[in-house]
Amino acid sequence: MDRRQQKTRAAIFQAFIELLARKSYTRITVQEIIDLANVGRTTFYAHFETKDDLLKALCETLFGHIISSAADCVHTHGLYSDGNAPESVFCHLLQHLQENDHNILDLLSCESSEIFLRYFKDSLNELIQTQFVKQGKIGGTDIPQDFLINHISGSFVEMVLWWVKGRMKQTPEQLDLYFRAVIEPILLFTYREI
Amino acid sequence: MDRRQQKTRAAIFQAFIELLARKSYTRITVQEIIDLANVGRTTFYAHFETKDDLLKALCETLFGHIISSAADCVHTHGLYSDGNAPESVFCHLLQHLQENDHNILDLLSCESSEIFLRYFKDSLNELIQTQFVKQGKIGGTDIPQDFLINHISGSFVEMVLWWVKGRMKQTPEQLDLYFRAVIEPILLFTYREI
DNA sequence: TTCCATAGAAAACAATTTGTTCTGTTTTTA
DNA sequence: TAAAAACAGAACAAATTGTTTTCTATGGAA
């Protein structure tokens, strides 16, 4: 890819992230983005059809890294390594988030965080889905597989939301323990051990 | 309140809900709302400062009913009546949603459902908060109270989202069973019996 | 029923915002 | 070095927003 394109794309992303930290997605105008990114109007529209398109591209880029890294983790350790080992995918994901790679934390704590969390959840859902094979039984109740998957990915992103809104006072390891405690009973019955 | 005001307000709400079923919140313009509601431009801005203000008012009106009804339910039965009795607040809430009072389902299944679910979750959070008194212990792990509250309200709204997106194939009673199965271990250790 | 305060309609308005189109310049790459 | 591609800048119509003004209709109290 052309260096100019890379620079322009990066500048637009950066400006967009900075603006998201200040105001809600809806209130951000294309004009503000191109002013801050210092690119021409024509250039912006050459890269992205609309503001929504930019949002989508940003999501794909940022979560693409995190999720594919988590996918590797899952393929080697499984969703949830046994016992108290710290290699659960969830811990891995939380650590990644804490490192604030590509300013992803700004997006998750900004006014429009729901947009990104929704994308995050969908990606996570696909990831978890690959790890489930059969229906789970908990306390004699038959529970559909997709209900469980949704419960896990949903709980996780809601936890992340709670975490970042509370200024991330807990460590990823702590959070992982909490999450295991509320999710473990389900995983034990449904997760395919590799 | 003046009958004219009531009519106007209702017409705007109705038009807004109809439009939300068709397109995303962002793409809806004030012009479209007033055209469909058949009210003057001046009138709209006499009732609501902005489109966001309208959204907020709609949330307050719709979720106000459901939550206060659930609050009554909690005050008499507690969060979660013992055993297999069907009077859990969660079941109550799901039944209310299924009745589609004031077209609330349209909002929860529309493209901008996250906006409403977020409001829903906040209301639910407050409701559950009143029912917790002490920290919970699960499997020897100390878990902060607000983590648990967030987990419950978060899981619930994510479940509702999953439910409406899947065209609500399950009955509220079925869903309640699923939800209890994944939440019960937590509730048992933390919920104050009345 | 009458009266008046208030709600609403209609139109016009400036100010933003959007997305496109033009021309000319700079940078990459073949 | 020359062609191709990316970019800047400006100008543009169209749509949208929120306000203002003038006038009409209506509800509720006396």
Tell me which of B48-62, B97-111, B129-143 is least confident.
B129-143
State the average pLDDT for chain B. Answer: 88
What is the topology classification, in CATH, of domain B1-48?
A: Arc Repressor Mutant, subunit A (1.10.10)
* Predicted pLDDT of residue B1: 81
Residues 6 or more apart in contact with residue B51 via CB below 8 angstroms: B25, B28, B30, B33
pLDDT for residue B102 is more than 90: no
- pLDDT band per the 50, 70, 90 thresholds, residue A7: very high
Res B44 pLDDT > 80: yes
DSSP state of A103: G
Q: Residue A154: closest CA among chain B residues belongs to which residue?
A: B158
Count chain A–chain B contacts defined by CB atoms under 8 A: 80
Does the structure show a pLDDT above 70 at A78?
A: no
Nearest residue to A8 (alpha-carbon basis) of A46, A49, A39, A50 = A39
Q: By percentage, how much of chain A surpasses pLDDT 90?
A: 70
d(CA B11, CA B13): 5
Pairing state of beta strands A141-143 and A136-138? antiparallel
What's the rounded Cα separation, in Å, for the pair B87 and B74? Answer: 9
Query: Is the pLDDT confidence value at B172 over 80?
Result: yes
The answer to whether the CB atoms of B150 and A144 lie below 8 A apart is: no
Per-residue CA distances from A170 to A77, A98, A141, B57 (Å): 24, 10, 34, 35
Chain B environment of A186 (Cβ under 8 Å) = 182
Q: Find the Å distance, CA of residue B42 to C1' of nucleotide D18.
A: 9
What number is the average pLDDT over the span B23-35? 95
Average of pLDDT values for A99-114?
88
Q: How close is the nearest chain B Cα to the Cα of A176, in Å?
A: 11
CA distance A176 to A154: 15
Mean per-residue pLDDT for B65-81? Answer: 80
Q: Which nucleotides of D are covered by protein (CB under 7 A)?
A: 5-11, 15-22, 26-28
Q: Cβ–Cβ of B141/A186 closer than 8 Å? A: no
Rounded-to-integer distance, Cα A90 and Cα A73, Å:
10
Q: Inform me whether the pLDDT recorded for B21 exceeds 50.
A: yes
pLDDT confidence tier of residue A93, bands split at 50, 70 and 90 = very high
Residue-level pLDDT at A72: 87
Contacts of A145 (CB under 8 A, 6+ apart): A132, A134, A135, A136, A190
Indicate the range of A125-134, B48-57, B89-98 predicted with least confidence.
Answer: A125-134
pLDDT tens-digit profile of A27-55? 999 999 999 999 999 999 999 999 999 99
The conformation of residue B191, written as its DSSP 8-state character, comes to B
pLDDT at B85 over 50: yes
* Winning range, highest mean pLDDT, from A87-101, A156-170, B62-76: A156-170
**CA nearest A74: which of A58, A90, A95, A98?**
A90
pLDDT at B193: 39
CA distances from B30 to B4, B56, B57, B82 (A): 20, 15, 15, 49
Contacts 24+ apart (CB under 8 A), B12-20: B12/B37, B12/B39, B12/B44, B12/B47, B12/B48, B12/B54, B13/B58, B13/B61, B16/B54, B16/B55, B16/B58, B17/B58, B17/B103, B17/B106, B17/B107, B20/B106, B20/B107, B20/B110, B20/B111, B20/B112
pLDDT surpassing 50 at residue A104: yes
Query: Where residue B125 falls among pLDDT bands split at 50, 70, 90?
Result: very high
Q: Domain-by-domain residue ranges, chain A?
A: 1-48, 58-189
The pLDDT of residue B100? 83
- Return the amino acid letter for B131: Q
